[in-house]
Structure 1
Amino acid sequence: MSFYKQEWETSYKNKDNFVYYPHEEIIRFTSKYIRKRTGQFEFIDRYPHLENHKLLDLGCGIGRHVIYAHQMGLDAYGIDLSETAVQLAIDWAKTEGINSPENKIKQGYTQNLPWENDYFQFAVSHGVLDSMNFSVALQSMEEISRVLVKDGLFYCDLISGDDSSHSREYDGEVEVETAHEKGTIQSYFNFGKIEKLIGRSFEILECALIKREDILTGTFHSRYHIVLRNIK
């Protein structure tokens, strides 16, 4: 099975995914469930006993959510398929004062995470589990459950078939043909496919479908934004 490593290396070398600010839904997840920032150096903790709690960014890219988690006072880790992205993330983390980031940000596969059982309290993943074959995403979910503590929290988002070219219930897989992320996989989701992805390892705390429409052209796309609790 191809895991499209070369395609992702090309994508990052083309700077397709050079984003330096955290996604708004990950900020919302962090503020609601982990820690809310109320001042420059002031926080309200939402999760008990946050000292030394670890967060994993699955598919971390160049490290924007690793950096954000670090700035929020969490012990931040990341993994990505692309060696190019991981090196950039490590270099960025060094400038932010993260100690030994090469030990925390790793190149690897989401279906074979290089951490022991129950290592993390939190995990996040933006635009990752829908950018692989569904069979690989299923294996990745098993790994996320393994490395999360019981009752650990996981935020992820998934592209919906509810867009200008498909329908709400569309759940197929296609190879990306546009210049952006060319040659990679796009796996579309409906709620039934989400339930299959989650399996018996997680329970859904939130599942919102957010639609973005271009009023001038009438085109639109939608993404599911999901918060899960590990119940293994």
Structure 2
Amino acid sequence: MDNKMREWDSSYLNRDNFLFYPHEEVIRFTSKYIIKQVGLNEFSFVRPLSGKPNVLDVGCGIGRHVSYFHTMGFDSYGIDLSNEAIKVAREWGSNVNIPEVENRIIQGDIQNMPWGDETFDYAVSHGVFDSIYFIIAKNAFKETARILKESGLFYCDFISGDDSNHAREFWGEEVVETQHEKGTIQMYYNYSKIQELVQNDFDILELNLIRRENILSGSFHSRYHLVLRKKDK
């Protein structure tokens, strides 16, 4: 199945997805589940680890979360389909002194990632699994579970049909026709579709639907935000 690599390279060449500030839900996940600030200059890991936590950004784009995790003191890694995105992500990673950046930020298919079983303590993915065909999302989800350690945690999000143009339970797919991300896939999710995606490999710790409404225009859109824990074998 076409993974839309050409379209994503074009999108990044146009700088459609040049996002620099970490997403607020990724920051929230980090502070609640990885490291918590307990004083002005004091931090405490939420659960004991033998060394630095290592975190993978699945579909890292230009690397905003890879660099964020590095500045938090973690061993951070990223993978993305787009060669154009990875060029920028590696440059950014070099600027913030991520070691061996070409081995940590890589171009590749999230259905077949190059790391061994149970490599990572945590994984995050923002705006990725709803921008690919569902069968690819299922393969990539299973692959993310493979590279996570037992009971490893995974933050991800999905666009909901609960918006100005669809209905809450809409779960179809559309080809993007607007100039932004033109030609890529927009996959909509509802609760049943989320369950189908996660149930074999993860337990759901959090599932929140956040709606943003423009009061002036009346338009709105919504996203599901999840925190998942890899099931024990």
Amino acid of the structure 2 residue aligned with 1:209: L
Residue equivalent to 1:91? 91
Residue equivalent to 1:24? 24
Q: What CA distance in whole angstroms lies between the structure 1 residues aligned with 2:167 and 2:160? A: 9
Deviations 1:150-176 (A, max 9, x none): 100000000000000010100000000
* Higher deviation after alignment, 185-194 or 39-48: 39-48
Q: Tell me how large the CA RMSD over aligned residues is.
A: 1.2
Residue equivalent to 1:198? 198
Q: What CA distance in whole angstroms lies between the structure 2 residues aligned with 1:83 and 1:39? A: 41
Q: What CA distance in whole angstroms lies between the structure 2 residues aligned with 1:129 and 1:43? A: 32
Tell whether 2:106 aligns with 1:106.
yes
Deviations 1:103-150 (A, max 9, x none): 000001111111100000100000000000000000001100000011
For residue 100 of structure 1, report the CA deviation from its aligned partner: 1.0
Residue equivalent to 1:160? 160
For residue 38 of structure 1, report the CA deviation from its aligned partner: 5.2
For residue 47 of structure 1, report the CA deviation from its aligned partner: 2.0
Q: What CA distance in whole angstroms lies between the structure 1 residues aligned with 2:215 and 2:39? A: 36
The alignment partner of 1:117 has SS state of coil
Matches within 5 A, 1:43-62: 43-49=43-49, 51-62=51-62
Matches within 5 A, 1:1-232: 1-37=1-37, 42-49=42-49, 51-231=51-231, 232=233
Deviations 1:21-47 (A, max 9, x none): 100000000000001245675322112
Amino acid of the structure 1 residue aligned with 2:6: Q
Deviations 1:73-123 (A, max 9, x none): 110000000001111111111110111110000001111111100000100
Unaligned runs of 5+ in 2: none
The alignment partner of 1:87 has SS state of helix
The alignment partner of 1:43 has SS state of strand
Amino acid of the structure 1 residue aligned with 2:103: N
Deviations 1:199-232 (A, max 9, x none): 3110000000000000011110000000000004
Q: What CA distance in whole angstroms lies between the structure 1 residues aligned with 2:190 and 2:146? A: 25
The alignment partner of 2:44 has SS state of strand
The alignment partner of 1:155 has SS state of strand
Amino acid of the structure 2 residue aligned with 1:32: K
Percent identical pairs in the alignment equals 55
Amino acid of the structure 2 residue aligned with 1:110: I
Q: What CA distance in whole angstroms lies between the structure 1 residues aligned with 2:142 and 2:151? A: 15
Amino acid of the structure 2 residue aligned with 1:49: L
- State TM-score, norm by structure 1: 0.97
Q: What CA distance in whole angstroms lies between the structure 1 residues aligned with 2:50 and 2:29? A: 15
